[in-house]
């Protein structure tokens, strides 16, 4: 499982590096099961980062054969319902261009993002960038 944790750490490190250059230093970033946002008290837009391991394949033959793990990084910018999508789109634009179509998060490599509307969560609406990734184990 070391490769899974290595990949997660690489993604988190990239998000945190981008966070330091974001215009609002108080930006809250929620990760899978960490830094959970209290949606009842949160007022400013925030970013959710989910890492979904989806499938895997054997990529070669022989005694040292390797495993390719594939998945998606889902970046969701959350804004209060009724506030429009501009702030969500600007928040996503600060993060996803540096995270898709890159091999800068070793061992993770990514493909082009798909931009989609996220499912509403209570009083929060969202816009997401879904970034396919893979890494070899």
- Domain CATH code at residue 9: 3.30.2000.20
Number of domains in the chain: 1
What is the per-residue DSSP string for 1-45? -HHHHHHHHHHHHHHHHHHHHSS-TT--EEETTBS---TTT--S-
> For position 2, what pLDDT does the model report?
65
Q: Which domain holds residue 28?
A: 2-136
Confidence of residue 1 (pLDDT cuts 50, 70, 90): low
Strand pairing of 109-110 and 124-136? antiparallel
Distance from the Cα of residue 132 to its chain's centroid: 10
Is the overall model pTM greater than 0.85, yes or no?
yes
Confidence of residue 10 (pLDDT cuts 50, 70, 90): very high
Average pLDDT over every residue of 8-16: 97
- DSSP 8-state secondary structure symbol assigned to residue 108: B
Does residue 112 surpass a pLDDT of 60?
yes
Q: What is the chain's mean pLDDT, rounded? A: 93
pLDDT tens digits along 28-54 = 999 988 878 998 899 999 999 999 999
């Amino acid at each position: 499982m070391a490769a899974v944790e290595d990949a997660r750490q690489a993604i988190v490190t990239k998000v945190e590096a981008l966070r330091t250059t974001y215009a609002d230093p108080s930006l809250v970033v929620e990760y899978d099961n960490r830094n959970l946002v209290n949606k009842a008290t949160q007022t400013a837009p925030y970013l959710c980062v989910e890492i979904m391991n989806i499938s895997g394949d054997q990529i070669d033959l022989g005694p040292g054969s390797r495993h390719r793990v594939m998945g998606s990084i889902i970046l969701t910018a959350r804004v209060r319902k009724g506030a429009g999508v501009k702030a969500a789109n600007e928040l996503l634009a600060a993060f996803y261009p540096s995270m898709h179509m890159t091999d800068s998060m070793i061992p993770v490599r990514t493909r082009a993002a798909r931009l989609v509307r996220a499912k509403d969560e209570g009083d929060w609406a969202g816009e997401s960038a879904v970034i396919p990734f893979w890494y070899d184990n």
